[in-house]
Amino acid sequence: MMRKVYIAGDNIVNSLGFSTGEVMKQLETGATGFMFYNDPRLAQTTLPLSLVDQRILHSRFDEILQKRHPELNKNSFTRLEKMFIVSIDDALKNTESNIYGSDSLLIISSTKGNIDLLEEGMKEFPDPKRIYLWKMAEVIGSFFGFVTRPLVVSNACISGVLALSTAARMIEAGLYENIIISGGDLLSEFVISGFLSFQALSPEPCKPFDIARKGLSLGEGCGTLMLSSKLKKTITITASGSAISNDANHISGPSRTGEELAMAITKAIKEANLKLDNVDFISAHGTATLYNDEMESKAIGIAGLRTAHVNSFKGYWGHTLGAAGVIESVATIHSMESDMLFRSAGFDEPGVPVALNVIRKNASTQVNNSLKIASGFGGCNAAMVFQKI
Amino acid sequence: MPDHYFITHSNIIRKHAITRDFNIDPNNEIFVNFVTFIKALYKKETISYPKFYKMDNMSKLGFLGTEMLLRDNSFFDRYSKEEIGIIMMNSSSSLDTDLLYNQTIKDKSNYFPSPSLFVYTLPNILIGEICIRHGIKGENAFFIFDRFEPQKILDLVHLLLDEDRAQVCLCGWVEVLEDNFESVLFLVEKEKRMKEFQLKNEYSSFDIENLKLLYQNKK
């Protein structure tokens, strides 16, 4: 019998706020986090982006630094490290005393880490080694006093779900008692120019699964989840199954059939011992590119989940890359705790080959079993099941 | 532990030697740079895969190492495409290609970002290339460590094999940063399947000591 894995704490930092509560409250009012930016430091064209409020980020970080490490200089942390620290600090409240042993681990998920250190203006940064993801993770881990060395996952857009899956499996196997998984990525010219070169960006805020979708919108942020063998929140939610697969088709385009994502979904549901009919909600990857959403609809169809409620949280805060899987899982868990289904922002008219039950209006209803899915460059797919017990 | 696991095959590519299943083949050519080195090796191994030329340096190295590892050991007879798990690791992620890509956006009067380069600014593209080449569809993951970490490798491989999430694991450390590089690839197989295919058990057990020895090129 495998050990159960409980949700013990969480946080979201993005354009809509600095805690899960703050962010999800915005969703209840229908707000989204996009603004149009015309800033040559970010992009050579005007784009809708979902950015973290810098002023609030720095002031939150300064408070935490004052409380935990008044001896350290605030300028010795990068913008992304500050996002991670603000997110983890909030997720750890009430449970922090449990992380200081050799049975606790920090897992960092990021695609590009401190990539802004390559920019001209960052030449002065005191520690150039922080361009390495393991070094960045080490700084964050020692800031909070973890005694084990952090694990870093960097696997394109499934990084976050893969990090959660790895963590849940480690706790099930008895390797650790508590794992804090934090996913983060920031937006800089590096990433934005790359997606622009792919012609993958929408001129308006993205419209996942909609007939008029024109591509993805980028966002930045950080999400943190604490998984534990013992600790749990007031409402008990478990991470009960997960699977990863590869399309073996194309490095920058999704599978033509969706079979490989479907395979991951089927395995994750089987591992969780869940009946298909009991899947209440799917938090889709839903990037709003033509091909991703098409593929995802086929995969959900093949997996036999056409009637399950589906949304993409990316219509609210964009594609947050290595943070996406964690942030969207936290939002999924919040949906389960509050028994709320959130509309898929940007969706009006169905535009994918397999008809899905895309959520059109926020609704109060029992959300007991959820599925989080993700796909990314390199042909990777991930699926993870959360259950209320 | 449900079964015994073995390191059945390995391939190590370093500047001064190439090691296949612990047979060390010293490289006496004068090292000019990584690009010359890897092209020469590709030709010497007589692999024909035109996509090789568009890959970034890290993918070229890991791809070539995998080709050398998987050839001649009837690997694909023993496993279906869904049963093969892949775990890859390195220290600098895709920094080697990040630096190249950054050159294309640095100068606004000479701005030429390209999707074919940008896609390689993700380390797991190496896994994608290997999967495409062989149709591998199983579990796959890319991790970043400051160095080759036997304990972490052991834990991560066990998570896949113990619960039958994969029946075999292709595992490797593939690091490239400018002209510094190293590829250490190996297969971890389960005793049960090895017996079914009458593989003689002459292999090293999959444990920390043997991982350390493997990394040091020793049996």
Q: Which chain A positions have a beta carbon within 8 Å of B93's beta carbon?
A: 113, 132-133, 154
Q: Do A251 and B165 touch (CB under 8 A)?
A: no
Mean pLDDT of the region A245-265: 97
**Residue of A197, A248, A376 with shortest CB distance to B131:** A248
Q: Which chain A positions have a beta carbon within 8 Å of B124's beta carbon?
A: 154-156, 376-378, 380
**Best of B93, B102, B149 to disrupt the A interface by mutation (most A CBs within 10 Å)?**
B93
A101, A127: one domain: yes
**Could you tell me which chain B residue has the CA closest to the CA of A158?**
B141
**Residue of A153, A189, A267 with shortest CB distance to B105:** A189
Using one digit for the tens of pLDDT, what is the confidence trace for A14-67? 999 999 999 999 999 999 999 999 999 999 899 999 999 999 999 999 999 999
Q: Which long-range contacts (CB under 8 A, 24 or more apart) does B155-159 make?
A: B155/A170, B155/A175, B156/A166, B156/B87, B157/B5, B157/B87, B157/B188, B157/B206, B158/A173, B158/B1, B158/B5, B159/A166, B159/A169, B159/A170, B159/A173
Count of domains observed in chain A: 2
Q: Which chain B positions have a beta carbon within 8 Å of A198's beta carbon?
A: 115, 118
Rounded to the nearest 10 degrees, the angle between the axes of helix B57-70 and helix B95-106 is: 150
A216, A244: one domain: no
Identify the pLDDT of residue A96: 83
Q: Are A49 and A187 in contact (CB under 8 A)?
A: yes
CATH number where B71 lies: 3.40.47.10
A45, A191: one domain: yes
Identify the pLDDT of residue B72: 79
Q: Indicate the burial class of B28 (C-beta count within 10 angstroms; 0-12, 13-18, 19 or more).
A: exposed
Identify the pLDDT of residue A1: 60
Mean pLDDT (chain B) is: 95
**Residue of B102, B106, B142 with shortest CB distance to A154:** B142
- Which residues lie below 8 Å from residue A269, measured CB to CB, with a gap of 6+? A241, A276, A279, A303, A371, A383, A385
C-alpha B19/C-alpha A13 separation (Å) is: 47
Q: Are A38 and A46 in contact (CB under 8 A)?
A: yes
Q: B100 CB near a chain A CB, below 8 Å? A: no
Band (pLDDT 50/70/90 cuts) for residue B2 is low
C-alpha A264/C-alpha A248 separation (Å) is: 14
**Could you tell me which chain B residue has the CA closest to the CA of A161?**
B141
Share of chain B above pLDDT 70, in %: 99
A211, A254: one domain: no
Domain span including residue A189:
6-228
User: A94: alpha, beta or left, given left = phi > 0 and alpha = psi -120 to 50?
Assistant: left
Q: Is the pLDDT reported for residue A109 higher than 70?
A: yes
Q: Which chain A positions have a beta carbon within 8 Å of B122's beta carbon?
A: 111, 154-156, 376-378
Identify the pLDDT of residue A372: 98
Q: Is the pLDDT reported for residue B209 higher than 70?
A: yes
Q: Which of A205, A228, A251 is the last residue of a domain?
A: A228
Q: Do A135 and B146 touch (CB under 8 A)?
A: yes
**Where would I find the beta strands (DSSP E) of B56-162?**
84-90, 140-144
Residue the block writes with tokens 């920058």: A252
| DSSP character string of B21-75 | TTEEEE--SPP--HHHHHHHHHHHTT---GGGGGS-HHHHHHHHHHHHHHTTTTH
Look up residue A381 and give its two tokens: 């797919």
A166, A58: one domain: yes
Using one digit for the tens of pLDDT, what is the confidence trace for B74-114? 899 999 999 999 999 999 999 999 999 999 999 889 999 99
Using one digit for the tens of pLDDT, what is the confidence trace for A58-90? 999 999 999 999 999 999 999 999 999 999 999
Count of domains observed in chain B: 1
**Residue of B102, B129, B143 with shortest CB distance to A153:** B143
Using one digit for the tens of pLDDT, what is the confidence trace for A258-312? 999 999 999 999 999 999 999 999 999 999 999 999 999 999 999 999 999 999 9
A256, A314: one domain: yes
Pick from A344-348, B37-41, B68-72: least confident:
B68-72
A150, A193: one domain: yes
A151, A216: one domain: yes
Mean pLDDT (chain A) is: 97
Identify the pLDDT of residue B41: 96
Helix (H, G, I), strand (E, B) or coil at A6: strand
A78, A178: one domain: yes
Domain span including residue B156:
5-215
Q: Do B146 and A113 touch (CB under 8 A)?
A: no
C-alpha A145/C-alpha A258 separation (Å) is: 43
Partnered with residue B14 across adjacent β-strands are B17
Q: Counting every residue, how long is chain A?
A: 389
A223, A252: one domain: no
Q: Is the pLDDT reported for residue B1 higher than 60?
A: no
The answer as to whether A27 is a domain residue is yes
- Which residues lie below 8 Å from residue A100, measured CB to CB, with a gap of 6+? A145, A146, A147
The answer as to whether A1 is a domain residue is no
Q: Which of A199, A228, A257 is the last residue of a domain?
A: A228
Using one digit for the tens of pLDDT, what is the confidence trace for A193-229? 999 999 999 999 999 999 999 999 999 999 999 999 9
Q: How many CB pairs below 8 A link A and B?
A: 148
A102, A154: one domain: yes
**Residue of B132, B137, B142 with shortest CB distance to A155:** B142
Q: Which of A211, A228, A245 is the last residue of a domain?
A: A228
Helix (H, G, I), strand (E, B) or coil at A48: strand
A206, A327: one domain: no
pTM for the full model? 0.98
C-alpha B91/C-alpha A381 separation (Å) is: 23
